[in-house]
Amino acid sequence: MNVIHFTSCPDDPGDQTLRQKAASVKDINDRVRELVAGMRALMVKDKGVGLAAPQVGMLQRVFVTHADGDEFRVFINPSVLWTSQEQAVYEEGCLSLPGIWAEVVRPRAIKIQAWNEKGRAFTLDASGILARVIQHEYDHLQGVLFIDRVDQARRDKLLAKIAKAKK
Ligand SMILES: [Zn+2]
């Protein structure tokens, strides 16, 4: 299996992978399954609850989750079908932005449709932590990071912290 690594910071002009929109997976084949297995291993190693392919430099619409109390899940070519009116606040972090945390407001529940690594389509109703993780990972496929979902002043502070950590 190929060893996969994190891409560098998104706001580094030298590496904009995390700022681009990921492309749909055309065929759920062994290459995709290998990517999923590598992402799962990396997520487990770093004790993450979710990981999206752009975070490892692959601009493909794939993410995995392992939210607290939930099973390991794979989402390929996901579409968000519904989000609740009701919002929730939760402190988020990201494996691509180590040491950075911020409270983010998002819908409390969602309905999502996707395919798993076996090529099987599924629809999932999620709320609580799982809904949170899914929305965070889904954002990665759109080139969006959780720091984009906080107010400007807070975002500037977080970016300054990221820049400082990189030195
Ligand atoms: Zn993330």
Asked whether residue 8 is assigned to any structural domain, the reply reads no
**Catalytic residue of the set 34, 86, 91, 137:** 137
| pLDDT bracket for residue 30 (50, 70, 90) | very high
pTM: 0.93
Sequence letter at residue 36: V
pLDDT at 12 over 80: no
Per the annotation, the verdict on 137 as an active-site residue is: yes
- 48 alpha carbon – ligand 1 mean position (Å): 9
CATH code assigned at 128: 3.90.45.10
How long a stretch of residues is the chain? 167
- 56 alpha carbon – ligand 1 mean position (Å): 11
Average pLDDT, the chain: 92
Comparing 8 with 162, which gets the higher pLDDT? Answer: 162
Asked whether residue 12 is assigned to any structural domain, the reply reads no
pLDDT at 134 over 50: yes
Asked whether residue 9 is assigned to any structural domain, the reply reads no
Ion ligand 1 residues within 5 Å by Cβ: 94
- 55 alpha carbon – ligand 1 mean position (Å): 7
Asked whether residue 2 is assigned to any structural domain, the reply reads no
Instruction: Average the pLDDT over 78-90 and give the result.
Output: 97
Count of structural domains, the chain? 1
- 30 alpha carbon – ligand 1 mean position (Å): 25
- In percent, how much of the chain has pLDDT > 70? 93
Instruction: Average the pLDDT over 61-81 and give the result.
Output: 97
Q: Which residues contact 156 (CB under 8 A, 6 or more apart)?
A: none
Residue 63 has which token pair? 């993410």
